[in-house]
Structure 1
Amino acid sequence: MTADEQSASARRWTPDAVTAFGRTVGTRTAIAVLAVTLLALSLRFYALGARVFHWDEGRVGYWILRYAENGIWEYHAVIHGPFLYHVNKYLFQLFGASDFLARVPVAVVSGLLPATAWLFRERLGRVEMIAVGLFFAVNPVVLYYSRFMRNDVLLAAFMVHALAFYVRLFDTRKPRYLYAGTLMLALAFTTKENVLVYVVTWMGAAVLLLDHRLRLADGDRTAALPGPLGEAARAYVAAREDGVSRSGALSRDALPRFGRGVLSSRWTPHAVAGLVFFFAIVVFFYAPRSRGIAEPGLWKAFSNPGTFPAVIEEATVGSWESFVGKWGEGNQKSYIKTFKSLGAVLWAGAPVLLALSVVGFVVDRFAGDRPRDLVSFAGYWGFVSVLGYPVIVENAFPWEVVHAVVPLAIPAGVGLAIFVRWGAESVADGDAVSATLTALFVLLLAGQVAAAAVNTAYLHPADRYLDDAEQNENKLLQYGQPAEGLRPTLDRVRYAVNRNDGTDVLYYGSDFYVADESQNDRWAAGGGWYDRLPLPWYTEKYGAVVDSTTDLDEVASNPPPVVVARAEDREAVAQRLDGYRAFEHELTLWGSRTVFFIDREYLRPAGDSSASRQPVAPPAGV
């Protein structure tokens, strides 16, 4: 065969070979992303019901149980969006209420976050996709609150899912991604009111991306990076083609072209249908339910269509007014104090992610022809959240940090991939010292993340301190978490309730007193009900008949099998009870010592286990 014939043969076979190689690499990457997603789900489902409900979980859980019982629900911004109410109501009716099942929706939605990396495959390299997925899976802040029945992780996850589908829509022009993204966006609006902050942040990030088109100069911008960082960036630039079929940056006329495409005859029906789809989901979730009362309700409207306008108005206009009003006041405290409080949580739960997000964002900005829009967008979104949330939050609770950590996982994954690729380049070049140092550095980072995740999510999920010396405070916990050790006593309460007729649980004292217990059947509850939390979730779940009093003589007259009082009333109550055993616990991390008096006749038999639950061990391999 002549040289020309060999050349022609090479030209003929190379495209097929490259395509086959691409398919193989793509399949391996997809399998790796799938494996990370399964890891994320496993970490979230392992011992998901072990930790006793937090105060906030108990409050929402109780209202879901009442809603499932009486069929009455209406939106109140103070208890946040309707997603968990409606989804968990159906789950409880199908499978029975439990701590585990109540947390399942959050665990599933957040556990699927690593899978979104695959939707970014036109924008991220192979190593970057896996790294981003790992940060979604194991970051301690995200992991802890993914095992928590609260809306913050739901909101952040739905918005990342929405972004991923919309990016995929832009890359493929396939209408199905429009509907998938719109579904995720609409569900985000059903979780928590600070979705409005996300919308504003996204708009700001989009403006900054436009600035990229207008201001950033061409050329080798890695020269501006100092020392080892510049060296790592140049190695990264050399290898960034791995699996990225496009630059990840928009051309100057891409947005106008996309806008014209949306307005074209092909996209107009999809745009209109997407808008209708969005509002249909919002109306379904926010529409009131009013079984048994003389008020408009969603299901009533199907038998009385004339009430549909009132239902839709309440689900949209009425909910919107309440929705916006929730964020009207913002932070009334010192910005610096709030920033320090949230910053302490960031430093405790996401130091590696935070540092690598800066590295990934900066290097991507100075690498190649121009920064990639996805990395810049997520970086702006996350960094603005770090600086902005101290302005808007009412309280510096640790779960607020989730809204910065989740978007920063994307530039952090890029940052981690830089060092991985740098190490690979060192191996290829025979530079053993650089390769070893890079490997040790990456292992050190991984070890820090894994240790923090295991400590907070499994070993000390309800402990104020992470060490026996009580020097290392668990910054991820919020004050409303009952201290470790309450679970065995709750099991004793359930055992007593199941074997008693009449009043099962009597609360004593002004802290717990409610003049009429029926006030607690619908939001909002009366009197001292809130100081009982999270106990109402458990007593309602056990089917207990509950009463309360401030009269010690009433305690003595005909005591039920369980009497609950504050620790300062322990002696006075104990003198009026005969044959009861006392169990004392904190209903919050500190400052709320409460005594459970349980009739010895209703305690478990001697052979029945009632030992205190030990800290949950981490899953194998973590």
Structure 2
Amino acid sequence: MSAADPSDGSGPRSAPVDRVVLAVVAVTLLALLARFVGLGSRPFHWDEARVGYWSLRFLDTGAFEYRPVAGGPFLYVVERFVLGAVGATDATARAVVAVVGGCSPLLALLFRRRRSADASATPRYRLTDTETVAMAGLLAVSPTLLYYGRFLRGDLPLAVFGLVVVGCTVRVLDAEDAAAARPYRYLGAAALAVAVAASAFVVGYLLCWLAAAALTVDQRRLVDAGEGARDHLERAVERLRGTTRSALGAVGVFLVVHLFFYAPRVDGSIRPSPAAVEAAFLGAARAFYGVRVVGRRQGGEHQLLPYLSAHVETLLAASAVVVGLAAVGFLADRYGRGETRPVIAFHAYWAGASLLVFPVITEESAAWLTVHTVAPAVVPAAAAVGLLGRYASRSLSRDDAVGVAVAALLALAVAGQLGVAAAGTAYGPTTPENPLAHHAQPADDLDPFVADVSTAIEGNDGVDVLFYGPEFVPVYDDRPDRPPVSDAWGNRLPLPWYLERLGAETDGVREEAGLDALESQPPVVVADASRRAALAARLEGYESSTYRLSLWNREVVVFVR
């Protein structure tokens, strides 16, 4: 027998396979598949069209500057690389968000109990193996996260990178020494910078984190630690601060990532200069304050109760299973017999705070706000799944057939409800009955529009697509190269995205006199559906089609020569 043969007990042994990691990776692959199947089947929402259109303009001109009204710069900067590399389609544009959402189950490993040779040193306050896999599964299939993981907005990236920040914080608190904590401190700083670049709603995350941290510390003082709570808090703060070198390194990582996303670009690249640094930090802060704070004070207020009730209704309609599991997980942890776990309490309080924070800070009541409640709720929800797993295991060990049957039925009910909700929302028809479908989602398939316009403008010289009527044409010269733009241009959405993809030259006239002044009739004319009869009499040799550009109250007629 060879000396290197491990079977004699003397040779090297391979490390055991970590089944939890394998399970989480398998869930991640399924999550990616779920997000990429039919990714381009739903037409672009107006918000998606804005992001897509200005990403194409950035790709074309190479010029970019942060504009708060258009959302965070993360998607625009990344989309420029993606669209330039693989081309512009609905699916490729959404691929960035799909990859972020599809990979999100991996971050469940950040909340897993750390393995240690010293069993007494293993943190008891994190997720068990079963709960880790459950969290990964909930991130993969929760209807809200799945729907908006196939949607070109910054909400899902913000939620994922927000969880990464908290997960890295957990790892820093659990690290055995400063060297082990350093990678997570730097990763957390980078994730925070990306979260800031993803969406202005990051302000809501900071508020929720502060509230959740205060309530978690207070709970630990009242329930577990008593007078020792201050000592626990001081040790946690000391671990998070780390050495001066690591703290400065984390700040440096944050600043570099922030500069990368917020610095203005010329010819597609950042020009290193004091002006670029000033624009990325002071200029961006001033712009954000002027639009999101001063602008809100000047007529952006809204009543809280209608927004709050709409937020809760959408949660219960689309993510009742996750919300219910989160409530059970939190209550069992808070009032159960064993020690409470801060990681469960923190995320439960975070989700609870989001119910109030986001309806307050948002300017529009929309279904995507539920992403910011469901994302933290998956942690206490995973704890509830773990509770069910432990109940099933105990029943099985006692040969309790009734207990095993109850556990199996509950598991089937949870999985079935999640599957039905996901199928009905993420893959279901785009109708007002879909609780996650926003009114600015086109009700009709726009692929025929793209095909007709593409054929009609081929070889055309001059204006390819003419928008007709005051609904689509402002009284002043509107150049939509960058936001903000007029409401009239906004009424064209999501068509500008599709027309920009085709390279179509567009123009507009407000009245019939403008049509008469044209040197030649363009191959495509777009107008409000109410103007069909008047235009049909003037546009001989054209065929018309009607498209619903929203779930209600937005129909256009398209004349194609």
1:326–1:373 CA distance, 2 compared to 1 (3 A): farther
SS in 1 for 2:427: helix
SS in 1 for 2:547: strand
1:311–1:359 CA distance, 2 compared to 1 (3 A): same
User: For residues 146 and 274 of structure 2, what CA distance do their matches in structure 1 show?
Assistant: 42
Are the equivalent residues in 1 in contact too, given 2:139–2:145 (CA < 8 A)?
yes
1:326–1:43 CA distance, 2 compared to 1 (3 A): farther
- What amino acid sits opposite 2:454 in the alignment? R
- What amino acid sits opposite 2:244 in the alignment? T
- What amino acid sits opposite 1:528 in the alignment? A
1:262–1:570 CA distance, 2 compared to 1 (3 A): closer
- What amino acid sits opposite 1:506 in the alignment? L
The partner residue of 1:207 within 214, 220, 223 is 214
Question: 1:309, CA displacement in angstroms?
Answer: 2.2
- What amino acid sits opposite 2:145 in the alignment? V
Are the equivalent residues in 1 in contact too, given 2:189–2:253 (CA < 8 A)?
yes
User: For residues 372 and 106 of structure 2, what CA distance do their matches in structure 1 show?
Assistant: 19
Find the counterpart in structure 1 of residue 121 from structure 2. none
User: For residues 241 and 499 of structure 2, what CA distance do their matches in structure 1 show?
Assistant: 56
1:49–1:281 CA distance, 2 compared to 1 (3 A): same
Matched, 1:283 2:259: yes
Question: 1:190, CA displacement in angstroms?
Answer: 0.3
Matched, 1:355 2:324: yes
1:261–1:131 CA distance, 2 compared to 1 (3 A): closer
Matched, 1:194 2:162: no
User: For residues 268 and 449 of structure 1, what CA distance do their matches in structure 2 show?
Assistant: 46
Find the counterpart in structure 2 of residue 315 from structure 1. 280
- What amino acid sits opposite 1:355 in the alignment? G
* CA displacement 1:383-422 (0-9 Å, x = unmatched): 1101332222221111011111100011011112212221
SS in 2 for 1:253: helix
Moved more, 325-334 or 537-546: 325-334
SS in 1 for 2:484: coil
Question: 1:553, CA displacement in angstroms?
Answer: 5.4
Find the counterpart in structure 2 of residue 95 from structure 1. 86
Find the counterpart in structure 2 of residue 332 from structure 1. 301
Find the counterpart in structure 2 of residue 618 from structure 1. none
User: For residues 303 and 480 of structure 2, what CA distance do their matches in structure 1 show?
Assistant: 35
Find the counterpart in structure 2 of residue 585 from structure 1. 547
The partner residue of 2:431 within 454, 463, 466 is 463
Find the counterpart in structure 2 of residue 136 from structure 1. 139
Are the equivalent residues in 2 in contact too, given 1:75–1:286 (CA < 8 A)?
yes
Question: 1:162, CA displacement in angstroms?
Answer: 1.6
Moved more, 473-482 or 331-340: 331-340
Question: 1:166, CA displacement in angstroms?
Answer: 2.2
* CA displacement 1:112-155 (0-9 Å, x = unmatched): 11111112111111111111111111111111011000001111
SS in 1 for 2:426: helix
* CA displacement 1:455-476 (0-9 Å, x = unmatched): 211131x222xxxxxxxx1111
Are the equivalent residues in 1 in contact too, given 2:68–2:287 (CA < 8 A)?
yes
Find the counterpart in structure 1 of residue 484 from structure 2. 524
Find the counterpart in structure 2 of residue 168 from structure 1. 171
Question: 1:369, CA displacement in angstroms?
Answer: 4.2
1:365-376 to structure 2, matched below 5 A, reads: 365-376=334-345
- What amino acid sits opposite 1:547 in the alignment? D
User: For residues 475 and 308 of structure 2, what CA distance do their matches in structure 1 show?
Assistant: 41
Structure 1 alignment gaps of length 5 or more: 1-15, 220-249, 292-296, 302-307, 465-472, 600-622
1:44-63 to structure 2, matched below 5 A, reads: 44-63=35-54
- What amino acid sits opposite 1:125 in the alignment? T
1:493–1:152 CA distance, 2 compared to 1 (3 A): same
1:365-514 to structure 2, matched below 5 A, reads: 365-460=334-429, 462-464=430-432, 473-514=433-474
Question: 1:261, CA displacement in angstroms?
Answer: 5.0
User: For residues 259 and 289 of structure 2, what CA distance do their matches in structure 1 show?
Assistant: 17
SS in 1 for 2:538: coil
Are the equivalent residues in 2 in contact too, given 1:33–1:115 (CA < 8 A)?
yes
1:127–1:89 CA distance, 2 compared to 1 (3 A): same
Question: 1:551, CA displacement in angstroms?
Answer: 3.3
User: For residues 49 and 403 of structure 1, what CA distance do their matches in structure 2 show?
Assistant: 24
Question: 1:300, CA displacement in angstroms?
Answer: 3.2
Matched, 1:118 2:78: no
- What amino acid sits opposite 2:301 in the alignment? Q
User: For residues 425 and 166 of structure 2, what CA distance do their matches in structure 1 show?
Assistant: 29
1:405–1:327 CA distance, 2 compared to 1 (3 A): farther
Are the equivalent residues in 2 in contact too, given 1:213–1:252 (CA < 8 A)?
no
User: For residues 526 and 456 of structure 1, what CA distance do their matches in structure 2 show?
Assistant: 32
The partner residue of 1:69 within 60, 67, 70 is 60
SS in 1 for 2:558: strand
1:427–1:454 CA distance, 2 compared to 1 (3 A): same
Find the counterpart in structure 2 of residue 346 from structure 1. 315
Find the counterpart in structure 2 of residue 537 from structure 1. 497
User: For residues 455 and 260 of structure 1, what CA distance do their matches in structure 2 show?
Assistant: 48
* CA displacement 1:181-228 (0-9 Å, x = unmatched): 111111001011121221122122222222233211589xxxxxxxxx
Find the counterpart in structure 2 of residue 604 from structure 1. none
User: For residues 146 and 567 of structure 1, what CA distance do their matches in structure 2 show?
Assistant: 33
Question: 1:68, CA displacement in angstroms?
Answer: 1.4
- What amino acid sits opposite 1:156 in the alignment? A
Find the counterpart in structure 1 of residue 122 from structure 2. none
User: For residues 218 and 79 of structure 1, what CA distance do their matches in structure 2 show?
Assistant: 46
Moved more, 134-143 or 384-393: 384-393
RMSD: 2.4
SS in 2 for 1:583: strand
* CA displacement 1:329-379 (0-9 Å, x = unmatched): 487222221111111110111101101101001111233542111111111
TM (norm. structure 1) is 0.80
Question: 1:108, CA displacement in angstroms?
Answer: 1.2
